[in-house]
Each structure stands twice: as C-alpha cells, then as structure tokens.
Amino acid sequence: MDQSQSISNESLPKSMRYGMSSATAVPASAVLSRFASVNGSSFSPTGSNQIRFKVQSPGFLDVSKHFLEFTATVATAAAFVDGDAGSFFDRIRIESNGAVVEEILSAGLYNNIRHTYDSDLGSLGKLSVSSGAGDLSISNTVTQTGLAAADTAAAVKVVTSGASHTFCIQLQSGLLRNTHGKALPDGTAELDIILTLAGNNQALIGAGAHTYTITSPTLYCPTYRIENAMVM
C-alpha cells in the first residue's frame, strides 16, 4: 500500500466511527393502498379475459412491495398450476395517459423462467407454499401428463374440479420491480395496468379438459406520505 495515500476515518469500520450519528427521521405516514379491478370481478380465458386496474396514489407508491391477490377456481377436471400462479397471466401491459410504459408478452413463461432457473431450491420451496407452485415432482407418461395419487411420492399440489384457491403474487414488471427498488414519485400520473389471462392449457396442466375462472383480483401497494413541506 502506498503510505502517501491519505487515510481518513472513512477507512475505519462503521463500528469504530464514534462520530457517526443517526439522521433525524422525516415525518411521514404509511398506508396499504388497495386497487380493485375496474372492469368487473370475474374473468376467464374464453370470456372476459382482461383485468384492468387504475393505479394512482396521493403519495409515494412503494411498488417493489406490491402484491396481486386473486382467487382461481378450476372446473371440469383437476389440474395443477404450471410453475406458480403467475402463469395465469399471458400479457402484462402498463399505460400512462394513453402511452405504453411497459408491455411484457408471454409473461407467464417469463415468470416461470425467472423463478425456476434464477432461484435456489429454498426459494422454490417457499414459492411452492405461497404462490401455488407444483413443486419439482410431476408424473409424466408417454401419452399424457398424469396426476399422481395423493399418497405417492410423485404427488403434486392438485386443484380439484370445483375447488378454489387464493393466491398472492408479484408481477414480474420492470416498472413495478425496478432494479433499485425505487418508489413511484408523489404526483405520478394515473397508471392503467392490464393483465391478459393465459389459455386454460397454458396456465394449468392436467390430463382432462380443465377450465378456470379468476375472481376478485385486487392489487395492493404500500403508500408513503411525507408530512414535511420543506422536505417535499
């Protein structure tokens, strides 16, 4: 090391810098904002297949912590979710004042690639519990993808015909999950978030002619308000 190089307190570990002090917190408040779909409450791939949200908040939207909650009901035949519940959505489109801010095609495929190939086994196990993934244990035959019996080692999380499950997921969006986790600024123009449903055989896997319906989709996001005019 060049001894002529200047050495300062910044070179010390934080635990040894006794001159450091915490900054005074900015007065603020936080609420969990709730955005319901504006074009109905029941959706299916062969019927009303687009879910629309209008998102605007009088504060900073912490979009990195958003989550989408919805209930999926399977009919006709039992099936299991392909990957996790993000596979129910084939396209994500975000608009602002009529201009397209972001559009993701094959969103369910992208979602599964991100989770399956970019996660460790611990994260996959957690995802399996929280978001409806089918684990890495499906039963394949020559003629079809079968559903193993519930008491076998190859059993998967099967959604039986007529059963409903409520899922909570995050959308794999560059705007909503930006690299630095930045909140959308106070005063951001209203956003239109449009989710297009995937086909029955795209979102679900099973031996029968299964169908599904999504009801009560709701988007949640923390909102922060700075209560100091000088800081704002």
Burial of 44 (0-12, 13-18, 19+ CB in 10 A): middle
7: confidence class by pLDDT, cuts 50, 70, 90: confident
Which is higher by pLDDT, 118 or 200?
A: 200
What is d(CA 193, CA 139) in angstroms, rounded to the nearest whole number?
Answer: 36
**Lowest pLDDT segment from 1-10, 107-116, 135-144, 161-170:** 135-144
Residue 129 phi/psi, 5-degree rounding, is: -80, -40
pLDDT for position 80: 81
DSSP 212: E
195: confidence class by pLDDT, cuts 50, 70, 90: very high
> In the chain, what percentage of residues exceed pLDDT 70?
82
8 A C-beta contact, residue 190 and residue 96:
yes
Q: Does the pLDDT at position 136 exceed 50?
A: no
DSSP 75: E
Farthest-apart Cα atoms in the chain, separation = 78
Q: Does the pLDDT at position 194 exceed 70?
A: yes
Q: Does the pLDDT at position 151 exceed 50?
A: no
Q: What's the whole-number mean pLDDT along residues 192-218? A: 92
Q: How many CA atoms lie within 13 A of 120 on its CB side?
A: 1
Name 104's bridge partners. 92
**Lowest pLDDT segment from 61-70, 77-86, 198-207:** 77-86
Structure tokens at 100: 């397209």
Torsion angle of the four alpha carbons 159, 67, 199, 129, in this order, in degrees rounded to the nearest 10: -30
52: confidence class by pLDDT, cuts 50, 70, 90: very high
